[in-house]
Structure 1
Amino acid sequence: MRIIIFKRPSWRNIVLWGILLFVLVAYRENATSVFSGKLKPIYSATVQTQSIGLTFDISWGEKTAEPILDILKQEGVHATFFLSSPWADKHQPLVQRIVLEGHEIGSHGNRHIDLNTLGALEIENEITTSQQVLERITGHSIRLIRTPNGAYNNKVIATAHKLGYRVIQWSVDSLDWKRPGPGAVINNVLNGIQPGHGAKPGDIILFHASDSAPDTVQALPTVIKRLKDKGYSLIPVGKLLAESSNTWPPESNLKEEPIAPAN
């Protein structure tokens, strides 16, 4: 018969385990996510409708936004515009036109920098600074954000969620900012950058209305017509989320109460 002798753990090990337990308790919500890597933005939604989210990012320029608004008005389509606050502050009449014509406004941050390079307090300052500017101009509550360059990590998602935001990415990328030509932009949306991955219900399409994407103006009417011909409806992201039963990836389905970010 073997006799198993359990050794008493050393005081050093007890202290280390105590510290780890304290950290897990103090930051239990965010710690779980950090260790499991399960904080994600929303790329698409599960819907029982034929709806697709249409989005435009704007961070600079004034030549592209107005023609895009003209096209959307002519087609009777509404979208979400993610605006950087310095651009919005500089182009207030244009922002007010976006709102008056029934489009949704989301935040594209303050400075156009990767938020995942910042500490939690800096991230919070970037988000709240942009929010104050956008809400002052639009008179609407801002609760959707697309981070600059789509950059994120657990800290970015948790901080945004703490502030009441949903972080929005995209599942269909037009790559219009690369200026590939209108035909390529149309193909990227309708058929996908990889064949067979074109826009379908629940997807979120990324366009830019900055002057860096002049091809969008020429491509957009064809994209809208082809998607309408398939029976799809192009709508703002907020409306798409209201129609959805859940979002993708599963890690983007954060619980209702805010998650406390790590400092």
Structure 2
Amino acid sequence: MKRNYFRYLLLLSSVLLVLGLFADASKARSSKMTKDELFRAIEKYSEENNREPVDAKVDSIWKAIPGYNGRTVDITASYKKMKSKGKFDEKKIVYKVIPPKFHLDDIENQPIYRGNSQKPMIAFLINVAWGNEYIPGILEALEKHDTKATFFFDGSWVKKNPDVAKQINDAGHEIGNHAYSHPDLQQRSLEETKMELVKTSKVIEETIGIRPKWFAPPSGSFNDTTVKVAEQLEMKTILWTVDTVDWKKPAAAEMVNRVVSKVDNGSMILMHPTQPVAEGMESMIKQIKEKGYKLGTVSELMSEERID
């Protein structure tokens, strides 16, 4: 009797085990998608997430605006990455970049006030002709938050402060041209303007071994001749979207709140090595990043590379 009972238990266990294996196999099969289902899922994702490229253009208000790459889902490549597991996985989506037809160099030579309005990046423009005492604090805040800025050097300042210029460059920041003697370029001739820019690029190159490709006119004073000369010297003219007005010595918190409330995709923020900037830089970086923007140099902002 006992022997039959144990045989019955053994048989029942075997049956339950087989049934469990069948259930697991069925569950595994049901969690997988057929080839057609997976392919259609990738196609649907593609329809919802493809982005058209944006051509560089001259805007009636913002003047020259850089282009921005588009993207399209590579359906075949994405399918190949997912087919072994038979599951849709957004992390395995493969994109192809679609460059714009017109680039910054293809459009009319105009000053640049901002990056592309679809690029969630912001750049700091730091014009340096004085204020050495505040530079260490600014550099410390930038380094602490792994942020790079574009410093525009006055040529005569570089001549007097080569070690500080090297320190800024060695910290990985981008260097631009800010003319030689902080002139009002709107009142200068073509030859005078050329001399100011050439002298500055020369002293920067002699000091740190870099030839600037961006030029920021002192006090934002320029005319068509200024932009033309900069272009002849292979530099684009950079202005700004948002001004800290730090030279008026506002309270740091007040300055930061006002600036952060105005920033948007592609904004360029003008500042100088002043006390409000030194005191407010860390807070400005934090608040801008909290709003979902990346911070980069002018070159990174002008790049057509996508941020997704």
**Structure 1 residue runs of 4 or more that deviate by more than 6 Å after TM superposition:** none
Cα distance in 2 for residues equivalent to 1:190 and 1:62: 25
How many residues are treated as equivalent by the alignment? 199
SS in 2 for 1:243: coil
Residues 1:215 and 2:279 are matched in the alignment = no
Match of 1:115 in 2: 185
Match of 1:200 in 2: 264
TM-aligned CA deviation for residue 184 of structure 1:
2.1
Match of 2:161 in 1: 91
Q: Which has the larger radius of gyration?
A: 2
Deviation per CA, 1:9-59: give whole Å up to 9, x if none: xxxxxxxxxxxxxxxxxxxxxxxxxxxxx8641100115432111111110
Match of 1:233 in 2: 294
Does structure 2 retain, via aligned residues, the 8 Å contact 1:45–1:244? no
Cα distance in 2 for residues equivalent to 1:150 and 1:188: 20
SS in 1 for 2:123: strand
Letter paired with 1:201:
N
Segments of 5+ residues of structure 1 without an aligned counterpart are 1-37, 192-197, 246-263
Does structure 2 retain, via aligned residues, the 8 Å contact 1:84–1:109? yes
Cα distance in 1 for residues equivalent to 2:118 and 2:109: 25
Match of 1:156 in 2: 226
Cα distance in 1 for residues equivalent to 2:165 and 2:219: 21
Cα distance in 2 for residues equivalent to 1:144 and 1:177: 23
Does structure 1 retain, via aligned residues, the 8 Å contact 2:242–2:267? yes
Asked which structure has the greater RCO (Cα within 8 Å, sep 6+), the reply is 1
Give the percent of matched residue pairs that are identical in Structure 1 and Structure 2: 30
SS in 2 for 1:46: coil
Letter paired with 1:231:
G
TM-aligned CA deviation for residue 174 of structure 1:
0.9
Letter paired with 1:230:
K
Residues 1:103 and 2:170 are matched in the alignment = no
Of residues 168, 183, 188, the one that matches 2:258 is 188
Cα RMSD after superposing both structures: 1.6
